[in-house]
Amino acid sequence: MSSKETQTDPKRSKKIAEEEPKSTKNVTTQTTLEVKPKPAQPAAQLIQKILDCQFEIFGIVQGVSFRMYTMRRAEKLGVRGWCMNTPRNTFTGQIQGYEPAFEAMRLWLEHTGSPTSRIDKCIFGTTNILQEFTFDSFTIRNE
């Protein structure tokens, strides 16, 4: 055997290393990636208030599709509760919703209503904070 044959050829060693199976090479060179969670937000920011109140509206609010428009607006906003016409020719009900939707519904009841209605006065009862909804949806009740 010549001295040339016993010496390791650097080019041959490099070629052998490249021919190693990929799976063996990957196992020996794995890198662990540590993912840090985002800091937790305060619980107050995650929990929205559920607000509830009763209302009565005076003016031209019967015979002008006020109930139907109210139900559509409530469903669009995600507000729950009920509404109905009264024998005194007023319109009454109860609304429940997360604060932004609840406030939008109050403004709509007080200032907008159905297209052909006329709102002279709107009285809202005490606004209560609920732990959970007491209605599953918004409904129209019969007188």
Active site residues: 67, 85
User: Residue 58: which residues within 8 A CB-CB, separation 6 or more?
Assistant: 90, 119, 120, 121, 122, 123
Helix (H) or strand (E) holding 104: helix 99-111
Sign of the CA dihedral with 4 first, then 9, 15, and 19 last: positive
Question: What's the Rg (C-alpha) of the chain?
Answer: 35
Helix (H) or strand (E) holding 120: strand 118-124
Angle between helices 66-77 and 99-111 (to 10 degrees): 160
